[in-house]
Amino acid sequence: MPGGNTSNIIADKRGLAGGTRSVTLVTAHLDSVNHPAHGPDDPAAPAPGADDNGSGSVGVVEIARVLKDQSSTQDLRFILFGGEEQGLFGSKHYVRQLPAAERTLIKSVVNMDMIAVLNTNSPTVLLEGGDPVSKNMIAGLSSAAHTYTKLTVNTSLDPHDSDHVPFIGAAVPAVLTIEGNDDANHNIHSANDTLNHVNHDLALEILRMNTAYVAGEIGVQTSLTG
């Protein structure tokens, strides 16, 4: 990417089914950035990124922890993308280099970006995807939210500005799961995006929804509780 290099971190959990297996992706971006209100970005400026996107990155690791010992029939892949803030470099590269045969095996992509700041009166999640490629995913995630959480669910079919977008552009089902009314979070991209603004209960609710949905996609053989 301009000015240097970045990396994607990828981990796989293999399913037990024989033959060709589908794969579900759980993703987030690992980088953070400080965008000054005036002037160019300063790479040396403090960018703690607790919500954007420490929260999503921790979410990927937590779902991996919960599912690592669960037997499943289908494959599961965890990806932490680099270079998202500079222009989705990591996810664009990943989608671009995928062989067509491998791309067709992707059943769904659950992307987490900013899942831990409460900007609404009640805990709310926005499910953002493409029309029509993400509609079944949005329905499935909504069902998981209503079954396992107390989240209010909002939806959008106008995907932009996160790592689900390159997948949707390649006709791969993908949905961004993000805190409700994220535009009201004015601490991101600054030195103020710190842990004291994080709402752990909201993050856990969104993770419950995502974990339940992913478990269903990969055919987890045992029930998940707690």
Active site residues: 84
Q: Where are the alpha helices (DSSP H) in the chain?
A: 56-67, 89-97, 100-103, 135-148, 165-169, 200-218
In the chain, at which residue ranges do the beta strands (DSSP E only) sit? 9-13, 23-29, 75-81, 106-112, 124-129, 152-156, 174-179
Are the C-beta atoms of 7 and 82 separated by less than 8 Å?
Answer: yes
Say how many C-beta atoms besides its own lie within 10 A of residue 225's C-beta: 4
Q: Which residues pair with 10 in a beta bridge?
A: 79
- Span between the terminal Cα atoms of the chain, in Å: 41
What amino acid is encoded at 197 in this protein? H
Rounded Cα gap, residues 220 and 214, in angstroms? 9
